[in-house]
A and B are shown apart, each in its own frame.
Chain A
C-alpha cells in the first residue's frame, strides 16, 4: 500500500503544478483568443456594414435598386453575413439579402442608432450580431472661405443598413480551439503522468524488489540478491540488503554447523545411553535368569521340606526359610514386572470388573499381615463394576495396600474405599502413616526410592511397588493421585471408568480366594511331565508335585522326552522354556502332535525377554517366571484343571 503511495505522491507532485499551470495558461490564452476572435468579428462586421452603408449612398440617393442590390450582394457574399437589409430614410425596404428582420426589430435598431455615438449600433446574442448603420452622405466641403453656416441644410441620412452577422463559424472555431486546447492539455497531462510514472517506477520498482527480497530473506531464502538499482540511494540500500543477506547466510551456516555438531554429539550420547540401557536390560535379564534357577529350586525344595518335617521346631525353622525365600521371590518378581512393563509387552485385557469383590478379597488376604503389625485394615466399598484389566488393577491395589501397611506404624489404620465420581469410580487407599513431604511426592514413583528406609531394610520392600503402580496406572489410563503430608498420612487414589447395565452383572470377580493346598487334593493321580535340563530344578519340581499327589515323569530335554515317552500322554506338562535342544514351544508342538487329549502347558522361564513372553502368549500357554513359588504353581495348576473341567462340561 505504501509503495502505491510513493507512485501516487510522485504523480501528484508532478501533475498538479502542470495541471494548474496548464489550466491557467490555457484559460488565459483561450480567453484572449476568444476575445480577439470576438473583436475581429466585431470589427469586420463593423467594416462590412460601414462599407455597405458607404457604397449604398449613391444607389440609395439615385434610387438605383439594381446597383443597390449589387452592393448588397457583394456585402452578402462576405463570410458570416447572415442577412442584409437596406432601408430608405422613411424605413422603407429598399434591398436586402438573407432573412428579413421583423418590423419591430427594425424600430429597435433605429432607436439604438440614435443613441450610438458613431452612428453604428449593434445588438448581439450568442448566435448573431446585428449592426445598424445609417447611410450618411459623404461630405465634400464646397465653401472655400468658411461660410459653411450659410444656407447649408442639415445632413440627413439617406437611409440605413442592417446587417446580421452569424456567429456560427465563430462558435464552431471556438469549440475547435477549445477542443484542441483540451486535447493539448490532456496530452500535456498524460505526457507528464507518463514521465512521472516512469520516474516513480525507477523508485517504486526497486523498492518493491527490496520488499520482496526482504520478505524472502525473512522466509529464510538467504541466497536472495538484489540487482543494482538506477537510483543511487536505492542502489546503496540494495547492496546493504545484499550484504545483510550474505552475513545472515554466513551466520546461519555457522549456526547450522554448530547445531549439526551438537546434534551429532547428542545422537552419539543417546546411542550410548540406549546401549547402556540395553546392556542393563540384558544384564538384568541374564542376572534374573541365573538367580531364578536356584531360587526356583530352593522354593520348591522348601515347599517339599515343610510337608516332610515332623517337629514344630523344625517346621518353625523351615517356615523362616520359606519367608526368606518368599521375600527374595517377591523381589525378583518385582524386578521382573518392572522389566516387563518397561519392555511394553503387557497388553491390558480390558473388561468389566467387580470392584467390590476384588477389594474384599484383597483386604481379606492382608488382614493377617495387618494384624501382625497391629494395624486396623478396613474396607468400605459400594457395589460397582469398572472397565479395566482385573489382573493389573488388582496388582495396583495390592501394591498400594502393601505399601500402606508397610508405612503405617502400629495402632494405625489403613482404609480401602471407593466412591462414585460421576461416570467414574475413585478407589482410595488411605493410611495414617508417616506421610510424604510435598517435595518427595514426585520421587516416590521412581524405582528404588524409599522414604524412611535409609538403612535399606529389606523387610520394607525394595522400592519398586509404587514404580509398578505408576506404570500400570499409565498403561490402563487410570489417573493416579496422591494427597499427603508428613505425619498426616497418605491417600493414593485411582480413577476408573464405571460400567453400567448388563456388563455390571457379568463383571469378573477375578480369581477366587486362594484355597490352602491341603484342602483340595484334586491333583491326585494327575499325570504330570516335568522337562527341565537343570537337575536341581527338575528334582525339586518333581518333588513338590509328587508331594501334592501327582504322578510325575521327568525328562532332561526334548530328545530325552522323545526317547523315553514317545507315545505317553499327560494331563499337565511343566517345562522349562529354554532347553538345550530347543524350547518349550517346540516341545508343546511335539506333544500336541501325538496326543489326542491335549495336556495343559506351563512354561517356566528365567528369561524376561519380551519376545519370549509374546510368543508364549500367542500360543495360549501359561508362562511362569522363575523362581516359581510353590503356592503360585499350585494355584495355576488348580486354575487350569478347573478351566479344563468347565470346558469339558460344556
Chain B
C-alpha cells in the first residue's frame, strides 16, 4: 500500500535543490546490518541522496538525516539534534531510550524490529486455527498484554498468562502454564526468552507436545514452530521509503512496525509435534488477508 504510493510521490515531486545528506550509522559492521546497508544504498542510489556509512564507534558527521541501524547506534544518537530515523530496534529497547529535550526536539522516528502483535496473533491463528487456549509467559506483565488478550478473545481463544520471577522459578511457571495451554505465544521479553533459557523452554514444551510460536527467525531456528519476521532487505526498502518522504517533506513519520514480512515454519518441529500446518506462503497470504 505504501510502496506504490511512495513511488508515485517520488515520481511526481520535483527534485530538491540539493541532494539530501544521509549518514547511516551501523551498530556493527557485517551480518544483517551489512545486508540492510547494501540494500538501502541500492534503493537510494539516485542523485538525490548522498549516503555516508559509519559505525557507531566513529564520530558522526553532521548530515541532514541520521539513519541509526540497531540498538547501539540508536542509543548513541538518541539525543541527536539532527533528525534521526532508528531502524532494527526492539520496541522495548527504544521505549527505554532517553527522550530528547522537547523544546529542541528534532524529529526522531523509528521502524521497530518487532512485529506488530496483530500480525503475530494472526500467524498463530492461521497456523493453528483450532487453538482455544494460548499461554503467555512474562517477567513483568507487559503493557500490550491486554491488547493481546483482546485480540485472542475476538477469535474465542483464551489467553493464560504467568509471570516468572525470583519467587516463581521459570521452570515451575512454565510447567503450570503448559498444563493449561495448547500453544505458547512468545512475547519479546528478554528475561524469559534469551539465549540461555530458550533451549530448556523449548525442551519443556516439547515434552508436553505443545508448540511455541516465536517472534523471530532465530526462534524458529532454535525450535519454535513458526514466526513472522522481516528481512533486512524489507527493512531497507521501508527505510528508503521513509527517507524519501523525509526528503520531500522534511518530516519523519511516527514510529512504525515493519510493513512487509515473511513467515518461517519449522517443519521438523511440526512433524515432531505431529501438527498439520500450512506452508509459509499460505500462512503469509492468510496473515496479509487478515490485516
Asked if A139 contacts B203 (CB within 8 A), the reply is no
Judge whether B31 and A146 touch: CB under 8 Å: yes
Within 8 Å by CB of A144, from B72, B172, B216, lies B216
- Tell me whether A62 and B70 are in contact (CB under 8 A): no
How far apart are A323's CB and chain B's nearest CB, in angstroms?
A: 172
With A151-B92, A153-B194: A140-B203 Cβ-Cβ less than 8 Å: no
| Chain B positions 158 through 186: 1 when the CB is less than 8 Å from some CB of chain A, otherwise 0 | 00000000000101100100000000000
Q: Does A142 contact B (CB under 8 A)?
A: yes
Contact of B196 among A58, A139, A149, A150 (CB under 8 A): A139
B198-A140 in contact (CB<8A): yes
A144 touches B218 (CB 8 A): yes
Contact of A147 among B90, B193, B207, B222 (CB under 8 A): B90
Q: Which residues of B contact A57 (CB under 8 A)?
A: 199-200
Q: Is A63 an interface residue (CB 8 A)?
A: yes
Contact with A along B223-264 (1 / 0, CB 8 A): 000000100000000000000000000000000000000000
Chain B positions within 8 Å of A399 at CB level: none
Cβ–Cβ contact B71 & A150, under 8 A:
yes
Is B1's beta carbon under 8 Å from chain A? no
Known: A140-B195, A152-B194. A61 touches B218 (CB 8 A): no
Inter-chain contact total with CB atoms closer than 8 Å: 93
- Which residues on B sit within 8 Å (CB–CB) of A143? 216, 218
Chain B residues positioned under 8 Å from A152 (CB to CB): 190, 194-195
Cα of A156 to Cα of B169 in the assembled complex, Å: 14
Does any Cβ of B come within 8 Å of A650's Cβ?
no
- A156-180 with Cβ < 8 A to chain B: 156
Interface size on A, residues (CB 8 A): 24
Contact B113–A137 (Cβ < 8 Å): no
Contact present for B93 and A63 (CB under 8 Å): no
| B-contact 0/1 string along A51-73, CB 8 Å cutoff | 00000011001110000000000
A138 near B: Cβ within 8 Å? yes
Complex interface bits, A27-71 against B, C-beta within 8 A gives 1, otherwise 0: 000000000000000000000000000000110011100000000
- Interfacial chain B residues near A144, Cβ < 8 Å: 32, 216-218, 229
B-side interface size class: 35 or more
A146 to B232 Cα, complex, angstroms: 13
Contact A146 B194 (CB under 8 A): no
List of B residues within 8 angstroms of A149 by Cβ? 71-72
| Most chain A CB atoms below 10 A, which of B194, B196, B203, B218 | B196
Q: Which of B28, B171, B218 contacts A63 (CB 8 A)?
A: B171
CB distance from A146 to the nearest CB of B (A): 5
Q: A57-B200, A144-B218, A151-B190 are in contact. Are A62 and B171 (CB under 8 A)?
A: yes
Are B27 and A58 in touch, CB under 8 angstroms?
no
Closest to A62 in B: B171
Q: Tell me if A142 and B193 are in contact (CB < 8 A).
A: yes
Q: In whole angstroms, how far apart are the Cα atoms of A147 and B188 in the complex?
A: 13
A90 nearest CB across to chain B (Å): 12
Say whether A146 contacts B28, CB under 8 Å: yes
Residue of B93, B196, B219 touching A155 (CB-CB under 8 A): B196
Q: Does B204 contact A (CB under 8 A)?
A: yes
In the assembled complex, the Cα of A61 lies from the Cα of B207 at a distance in Å of 13
Q: Is the interface of A mostly helix, strand, loop or mixed?
A: loop
Whole-angstrom distance between the Cβ of B88 and the nearest chain A Cβ: 5
B-chain residues with CB within 8 Å of residue A148 when the two chains form the complex: 195
Q: How far is the CB of B246 from chain A (nearest CB, A)?
A: 23
The answer on a CB contact under 8 Å between B218 and A146 is: no
Give the most central of A63, A138, A146, A153: most B CB within 10 Å: A146
Q: Is B197 an interface residue (CB 8 A)?
A: yes
Within 8 A of B (CB), among A209-241: none
Is B191 on the interface with A (CB-CB < 8 A)? yes
Q: Report chain B residues within 8 Å CB of A61.
A: 171, 200, 203-204
Chain A contacts of B89 at CB under 8 A? Answer: 147
A150–B191 alpha-carbon span in the complex (Å): 10
- Of A140, A146, A147, A150, the contact of B199 (CB 8 Å cutoff): A140
Complex Cα gap A141–B113 (Å): 16
Given A62-B204, A147-B90, A150-B71, the answer on whether A139 and B195 have CB atoms closer than 8 Å is yes
Chain A residue with minimal CB distance to B223?
A140
Residues of A close to B171: CB separation below 8 A = 61-63
Q: Which of B92, B169, B191, B198: most chain A Cβ within 10 A?
A: B198
Q: Is the CB of A153 within 8 A of B196?
A: yes
If A145-B70, A146-B70, A147-B93 touch, does A137 touch B191 (CB 8 Å cutoff)? no
State how many angstroms separate the Cβ of B205 from the closest Cβ of chain A: 11
CB proximity of A505 to chain B, nearest CB, Å: 150
Chain A residues lying within 8 Å of B194, measured Cβ to Cβ, are: 142, 151-153
- Residues on A with beta carbons closer than 8 Å to the beta carbon of B113: 145, 147
- In whole angstroms, how far apart are the Cα atoms of A148 and B198 in the complex? 14
Instruction: Tell me, in angstroms, the Cα distance from A57 to B32 when the chains sit together.
Output: 31
Considering the complex, give the chain A residue whose CB is closest to the CB of B224.
A142
Q: Is there an interface contact between A151 and B191, defined as CB atoms closer than 8 Å?
A: yes
Given A150-B71, A150-B93, answer yes or no on A137-B27 (Cβ-Cβ < 8 Å). Answer: no
Q: Which of A62, A141, A143, A144 has the most CB of B within 10 A?
A: A144
- Report the Cα distance A144→B89, complex, angstroms: 11
Q: Is the CB of B200 within 8 A of A146?
A: no
Given known A-B contacts A144-B32, A146-B33, A153-B194, A138 and B199 have beta carbons under 8 A apart: yes
Chain B min CB distance to A560 (Å): 174
A148 closest partner in B (C-beta): B195
Interface centre among A57, A63, A142, A156 (most CB of B within 10 A): A142
- Residues of chain B within 8 A of A147, CB atoms compared: 27, 70-72, 88-90, 93, 113
> Contacting B216 at CB < 8 Å: which of A58, A62, A63, A142?
A142
Whether the pair B200, A150 counts as a contact (CB closer than 8 A) is: no
Report the bound CA distance from A151 to B191 in whole Å: 7
Contacts of B169 in A (CB 8 A): 63
Task: Report how far A151 CA is from B194 CA in the complex, Å.
Answer: 9
Chain A nearest CB from B67 CB (Å) reads: 14
Which partner residue on chain B sits nearest A137 by CB separation? B196
Q: Which residue of A lies closest to B30 (CB)?
A: A146
Interface string of B21-59 (1 = CB under 8 A from A): 000000110011100000000000000000000000000
A87 to chain B, nearest CB (A): 17
Shortest beta-carbon distance from A181 to chain B in Å = 49
Question: Which chain A positions have C-beta within 8 A of B203?
Answer: 58, 61-62
Q: Which residues of A contact B195 (CB under 8 A)?
A: 139-142, 148, 152, 155
How far does the alpha carbon of A405 sit from the alpha carbon of B32 in the complex, in Å?
Answer: 168
CA distance A141 to B190 in the complex (A): 12
Seed contacts A61-B203, A145-B113; 5 additional CB < 8 Å A-B pairs: A140-B195, A142-B216, A145-B27, A153-B190, A155-B195
| Interface pairs A-B: 10 shortest CB-CB | A151-B190, A137-B196, A61-B200, A147-B71, A139-B195, A142-B218, A140-B222, A138-B199, A145-B88, A155-B196
8 contacts between A and B (CB under 8 A): A137-B197, A140-B222, A144-B32, A145-B32, A150-B93, A152-B195, A153-B191, A155-B195
